[in-house]
Amino acid sequence: MPPVRRTSSEDSNSRQPRRRRQQVQQELAAQKKQARPRTRPTQNDDDKPTPLMLRILLWLGLALLCFVLGYLGASLAVDFLSRKLLLKPENRIENAGDLTQFNEAERDRIARNQLSSASDIPQISLNLFHVKDGAITESRKSFIARTYEDNIRDAVNEVIALSGVPNAAKIKLLHVFRNDDTAFLDMPGQFASALDAMGKQKSLLLITGIVRTMEENFPPLSQVRFLIDSKPPASGGTVDLSSVWKLPKKS
């Protein structure tokens, strides 16, 4: 059977639905494309710039780390050199040997200073007349040169100590006054009690020794009056302290 041929009008009718479908598909694709949200291209986190504050903190941390490392390194270096005795400061004590050496050096320094000071201080040599073995004995002793009254005080206190007076450590001359050739010696109350305990003979020797010490070392003093606790003493007693004591004139 011979094939049936389509006419041109039939071919045009069959192509029209096909074109229509293609147009509808193109319109739908265009609508989907327009409805799709536009997004910016993504950026890798590694490519983001570091904030300024974070960079400042990082630099500060790095600077602090360098400072700490440098300080520790210098400390270790100085400590190492110190142990090797290369940079050991003077008088630095690190062990028992250093302490012993330092103490010896200090003792030597103090002794030298004392010798130097003693040689620079003016001295005065006095003749002291004190009681010994029931008689008056003369001794010579040096004192620091001070005021006239202070040296009288030193001399009287030393005579009392050398004479073996009871409780001599508590009997110290309180005050010294001068009036022409008279020395007023203000003694504590223990002085009168000590004279009573010593007896008349030894007490007279002690008073004579004090008066002679005044006359020999502190001219023009030649006589002594005693006070007890800054008051005139009462008459009587083992020796009469209310009287003026003076040595007889040498012929």
Every domain of the chain and the residues it spans: 123-245
230 sits in the region (left: phi over 0; alpha: psi -120 to 50; else beta) called left
- By the 8 A CB rule, do 171 and 163 touch? no
- Neighbouring C-alpha atoms within 13 Å toward the C-beta of 54: 3
pLDDT given for residue 114 in this prediction? 65
Alpha-carbon gap, residue 143 to 218, rounded angstroms: 14
pLDDT given for residue 238 in this prediction? 81
* End-to-end C-alpha distance for the chain, whole angstroms: 203
| 39: confidence class by pLDDT, cuts 50, 70, 90 | low
Reported as a single tens digit per residue, the pLDDT across 209-235 is: 999 999 999 999 999 999 999 999 987
Q: Which residue has the higher pLDDT, 250 or 243?
A: 243
> Could you tell me which of 169, 147, 156 has the C-alpha nearest to residue 245?
156
Reported as a single tens digit per residue, the pLDDT across 152-161 is: 999 999 999 9
Alpha-carbon gap, residue 245 to 163, rounded angstroms: 18
